[in-house]
Amino acid sequence: MIKIQQNFSLKQSNSFGLDSTAQTFIEADNAEELLDSIKSGRSSFSDLLLLGTGSNILLSKPAVGTVIHPVNTDIMILDEFPEYVLVRCGAGMDWDKFVDWTVNCGYYGLENLSLIPGSVGAAPVQNIGAYGAEVSNWIESVNVIDLESFRTFTLNRDQCGFGYRDSIFKDPVNKKWLVWEVVFRLDKEPRPNLTYKPLKQEFPVGYRPEILEVRNAVIRIRRSKLPDPAEIGNAGSFFKNPVISGCHAALLKENYPDIPAYYHDPETAKIPAGWLIDQCGWKGFREGPVGVYPKQALVLVNYGGATSIQILNLANRIIESVQKSFGIKLEMEVRLI
């Protein structure tokens, strides 16, 4: 199936709820039909946007050219071994529905990533992560359609260039690479990941939770902390957690003994951006329709009717104040379109 619509409003297609129009909006669940449509010129490629559910983008322009939105949702077990299973899932599948499926099958790996909004196709692009887990650790390979050369190819995990909220798919030279399917390698052996302290604290000391218990705990924590985009427009963490030098972290620790710093190695430390923003007094700030979520300073919100300019202005003011107080330049996690 391929469905092409003109002058399509994107307001319902981004979790900030911002107004923008796609000149052409293409939904496809079949790779051949999508490629045929492009080859035959039925779909043009001016100003291309590959779109999942729009939960990590900030639409800053009143209009975009062509939007391609995969809606392929097939799940298939490709191979099964005593210890693990290889599962392929279409890019258009809702991420949390897929996690729910894996949990119901008893396949370990993705349960800590429960309830992250978005599509399966965007998961490797963003290298989504939460509660001590990162999706890249569970990806075997990614099937890609290059919309420029009409080539389809597979990248294994090492070829995906995964980093913190980063991957090869974010490189501007690859902006016509459509993630079409993702193959996951999931454990059949129970291996609950309780490395993240607040998650561990959900269980009695020494308790080894079942996979469904982990998923439910993650969902509980997330619901208590994060706004539901269906109720308040937002795109999750607006900024990345900055990684600074060990020396810089040590200096900050002298002035701010409570600063949380997570050392990957002695040379670099990751500082929670939410803590920095909170220290600068932004948590709960509101100005007209835009604000900083009262329960999580990392989340900028649209209380209704905000423009991208208002959101960006607030973001820039936060960046400036964190820079001034801590000498740290925050970077946006949300992708500016």
Ligand X SMILES: Cc1cc2nc3c(=O)[nH]c(=O)nc-3n(C[C@H](O)[C@H](O)[C@H](O)COP(=O)(O)OP(=O)(O)OC[C@H]3O[C@@H](n4cnc5c(N)ncnc54)[C@H](O)[C@@H]3O)c2cc1C
What positions carry a catalytic annotation?
165, 237, 333
| 141 is an interface residue for ligand X by CB under 6 A | no
Complex with ligand X: residue 157 or 335, whichever CB lies closer:
335
Name the token pair of 204.
Answer: 């009695």
Q: Tell me whether strands 268-270 and 262-265 are parallel, antiparallel or unpaired.
A: antiparallel
CB of 44 to ligand X, least distance (A): 18
| 98 is an interface residue for ligand X by CB under 6 A | no
Which of 59, 123, 142, 311 is close enough to bind ligand X by CB under 6 A?
123
Binding to ligand X (CB under 6 A) within 306-335 occurs at 335
| 112 is an interface residue for ligand X by CB under 6 A | no
Which of 17, 70, 209, 291 is close enough to bind ligand X by CB under 6 A?
70
> How far from the centroid of its chain's Cα atoms is residue 171's Cα?
16
Say how many residues touch ligand X, by CB under 6 A.
33
In angstroms, rounded to a whole number, what is the distance separating the alpha carbons of residues 160 and 240? 20
| 235 is an interface residue for ligand X by CB under 6 A | yes
In angstroms, rounded to a whole number, what is the distance separating the alpha carbons of residues 76 and 87? 6
Which of 17, 52, 90, 291 is close enough to bind ligand X by CB under 6 A?
52
Which of 178, 194, 199, 328 is close enough to bind ligand X by CB under 6 A?
178
Residues in the chain: 337
Q: 26 - beta bridge partners?
A: 4, 68
Which of 20, 43, 56, 302 is close enough to bind ligand X by CB under 6 A?
56
Span of 4-12, 49-57, 101-109, 282-290 interacting with ligand X by CB under 6 A:
49-57
3-state secondary structure of 11: helix
CA 87, 99, 8 angle in degrees (round to 5)? 100
Residues 6+ apart with CB under 8 A from 125: 167, 169, 170, 179
Q: Closest residue (Cβ) to ligand X? A: 52
Which of 118, 209, 242, 274 is close enough to bind ligand X by CB under 6 A?
118
Instruction: Provide the residue type at 269 as one letter.
Output: A
Binding to ligand X (CB under 6 A) within 204-233 occurs at 226, 229
Write the DSSP symbol of residue 39: H
Rounded CA Rg of the chain: 21
Say how many C-beta atoms besides its own lie within 10 A of residue 216's C-beta: 16
| 122 is an interface residue for ligand X by CB under 6 A | yes
In angstroms, rounded to a whole number, what is the distance separating the alpha carbons of residues 204 and 217? 12
User: Which stretches of the chain bind ligand X, using CB under 6 A?
Assistant: 15, 49-57, 70, 91, 116-119, 121-123, 125-126, 128-130, 169, 178-179, 226, 229, 234-236, 335
